[in-house]
């Protein structure tokens, strides 16, 4: 029997308009779609009505499917000859375990393709009016997970990292924000360092909380995952560069349908990159 292919597709951070053309093409032609909890339902709806859709979402403290099970699902459907899309929030290779899944597919002799997605590490600060680099302000940034693996202590040396780069972007760190801030302050980082926490970025429910290391834990205490934390002087640019109006999205003024994006004149695959 002919083996199928597996496409590890990044669905982006939430806004359907940020799905790439390549990702949309693969999604529409898939026989099977294996998708995560953070995938926007509007994106999932672009899959064929005949496609088998399998939810394998992971939330803090609760995993619908463990990683070994997800690997097995991808391999078994591909071995049965199906075209499989593994649809993941953000980018598959940015804290998305895409490397683990690709390695499992390679070991099983399954052909696979990586379709990069727009990472929340880039898009969410942008939607909050925060550039990660800015001439005269920041020339470097780092993206790091704020969620330690398993029950182990985080290996990130927060203070050293904050001194090494101009902008620090932390994914999956809301629950550990008090610990992260304590580590930074204990390492001598200024309590006046600008800080932002952006919840559900790029969606109509986006909420941005701006502060400093001194007060960000208190100000952002009501926010929950998914959220992106940004630390550094670039956060101050939010006051000038804030452009995104979530309430306008709720009125469907800022989110074009995927069909409209694809059919726009002059748009090609190269224009949909980050």
pTM: 0.86
- CATH of region 5-118+256-272, choose from 3.20.20.140, 3.30.465.10, 3.40.1010.10, 2.30.30.30: 3.40.1010.10
CA torsion 241→247→249→253, rounded to 10°? Answer: -90
pLDDT beneath 50, residues of the chain: 253-274
pLDDT at 155: 78
Decide: residue 131, CB within 10 A, 0-12 exposed, 13-18 middle, 19+ buried.
Answer: middle
pLDDT at 154: 67
Q: Is 36 a catalytic residue?
A: yes
> Given 15, 31, 36, 91, which residue is catalytic?
36
pLDDT at 149: 58
What does the pLDDT look like over 211-253, one tens digit per residue?
999 999 999 999 999 999 999 999 999 999 999 988 655 555 4
Domain 121-243's class?
alpha beta
Name the residue ranges covered by the structural domains of the chain: 5-118+256-272, 121-243
> Given 15, 31, 53, 58, which residue is catalytic?
58
pLDDT at 248: 59
Q: Is 58 a catalytic residue?
A: yes
What does the pLDDT look like over 59-84, one tens digit per residue?
655 556 899 999 999 999 999 999 99
């Amino acid at each position: 029997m002919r083996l199928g292919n597996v496409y590890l597709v990044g669905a982006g951070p939430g806004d359907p308009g940020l799905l790439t053309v390549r990702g949309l093409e693969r999604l529409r032609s898939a026989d099977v779609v294996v998708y995560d909890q953070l995938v926007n339902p509007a994106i999932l709806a672009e899959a064929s009505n005949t496609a088998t859709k399998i939810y394998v979402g992971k939330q803090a403290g609760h995993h619908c499917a463990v990683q070994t099970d997800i690997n097995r699902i991808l391999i078994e459907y591909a071995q049965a000859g199906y075209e499989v899309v593994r649809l993941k929030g953000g980018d598959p290779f940015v804290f998305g375990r895409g490397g683990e899944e690709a390695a499992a597919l390679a070991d099983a002799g399954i052909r696979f393709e990586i379709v990069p997605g727009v990472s929340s590490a880039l898009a969410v600060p942008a939607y909050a009016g925060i550039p990660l680099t800015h001439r005269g302000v920041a020339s470097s940034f780092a993206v790091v997970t704020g969620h330690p693996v398993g029950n182990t202590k985080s290996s990130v040396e927060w203070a050293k990292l904050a001194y090494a780069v101009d902008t620090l972007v932390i994914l999956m760190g809301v629950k550990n924000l008090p610990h992260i801030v304590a580590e930074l302050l204990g390492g001598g980082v200024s309590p006046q360092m600008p800080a932002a926490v952006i919840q559900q970025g790029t969606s109509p429910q986006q909420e941005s909380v701006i502060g400093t290391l001194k007060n960000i834990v208190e100000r952002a205490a009501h926010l929950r995952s998914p959220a992106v934390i940004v630390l550094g002087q670039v956060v101050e640019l939010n006051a000038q560069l804030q452009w995104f109006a979530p309430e306008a999205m709720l009125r469907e003024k800022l989110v074009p349908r995927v069909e409209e994006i694809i059919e726009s004149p002059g748009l090609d695959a190269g224009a949909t990159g980050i």
